[in-house]
A and B are shown apart, each in its own frame.
Chain A
């Protein structure tokens, strides 16, 4: 008995030592890297980055601001190394065709590390993926790594028990930024790892703003003034693409973000619309929709806004005919492909739909591209998927992915070298909210509301567009 106790105490001691060293080593390393040294800590909450060694500015017991180790992950321990995969083949299902090349390289490296393993990408466009992927992977034992969009698709997969619980996986606790994991949680379980950190905020042309001597709009009346000034100067103030609802209504996030005084209230009022408890003719929606009419009347949108395709909108921005692309950080890669000169010439700005510069939120973030393991896949395939996801959330691999695709990621220890990613750093200082658009869980209801907003931009009156939409929602949910 005594011997047993001794062994137990010894094991505990070893575990304790390991935990302490895992905490101390990164902190020491960060000081060694000179991350905080020399920079005075002046603003509480300011952080030196998203590394496992990063520091945060915090008030100490005596009320002084000091640098302290930031606990970004769900654990005090350092990120784990990628897991080993058993032999076999799996499919990796996603919608990001633009990431294929970089994933090909990542997969090749993963396969080299794990001989006898084959990972095949199965890619479809985002609309098809939203609509058909879950049904297809459900009966496909090879489709082991499945990505989902935040919101209704993730919710659908979670409700159907399609995603394996990753709550106890060490990589889910130690390799990723905890505050960005909410989008992959369902009923207290971590069913997926949101891999990307997006910013659904307007992208602006730095050079044009500098050349014209314009300041970035900070409140709604600034936006109205900006539109009038830009239009007078011969620009299309916003390269808005009304013919493609998913991108056109990225701005619904900004218009929703300050419609309630608390997050709980915002969620509750969206849920009330989603479930038909409140009609979209309710005051707060009407007020929000009225802002679209104000923007329209100020000439913010292109001519014939409802007919502008995604390609045309991107072209307007990439060619400098429009200084603002009201979509988000994810569009930047495509813009650079259209015009190389735009590389490093883009920044992100918040879109405040209120006239209060101190509004609760000034910008949007979204954690999506949720990596999950298909619980209907074969057992070996699930093990390979687990190893593959642990590989993707490794700092080095995620660095390659982030810089290669011009996306921010939710993984610790990522070094952003791309100038566009560095330029977007300013948005991080905004007060960001997780994109409220995806709080709508009924896609049909959301589509009707968004169609009404598009109709308003196209010239319809607020009352008529919302009344027609309300009628359709009532029928849909009736």
Chain B
């Protein structure tokens, strides 16, 4: 009897609290923007988180009415929950860098149904429901990497490709790369495997490649974190047949190697995590009624970093 009373009392208190407080809502006149990004699980996403926080400080300082809420998530299911939480906090715009396209499409459609302004950065969704896409030029990225590799191999050699996570970003890059290589029939692509854009997997994959192929001329690691892992595997193997590697992304460690004229890393192509900063700025401008971009896509070009211009791309203070 007592037990029942205590439990019922607790239940009644909960219900009363919910009813009483459910109605209360403060309106403090702030414009809230939600930013939902993956947590810093590798160098590039670490760069994204850092740039997002810098942009938050910057924009909030310039306009005190703006409140930017940054929310990180370790996988797609958690990201959906985080976006739901952001919606409850009354955001007027949402900037999303989806972990994966398919699981995030549903919640993004709901965001649009509520009439909020939606910016999708880097990885797309299954359906194009967003107001604005901010992405790097993935096809250009793949093309530039291929052109630089072909140029330095003088049109012939055996190469390996390390792909990223299977998604649209990866497909665009690899397709463009292969299309350029078709123009150089003496360049043979020995194999192409996924390294999941992770340094650890890049190391393991490179070890396997080195076991399988006694002679390799060049390797496209596709990403600077993967490149770091691949270089370590190569150094540990004590082989000397690989002429050079090409990564991608513009991380400061690799840019430094280009700057120092490291023979194994002669060139790099950018894919800046700073694109999240642009996404947030465009969202803030649109929400205030003064959109900065007229079209639905804002593409950040991929630029080639060589020892000559590397000093302009080297930023020691950023984590990426």
* A and B are partners in one complex rather than unrelated chains: no
* Chain B residues packing against A (C-beta within 8 Å): none
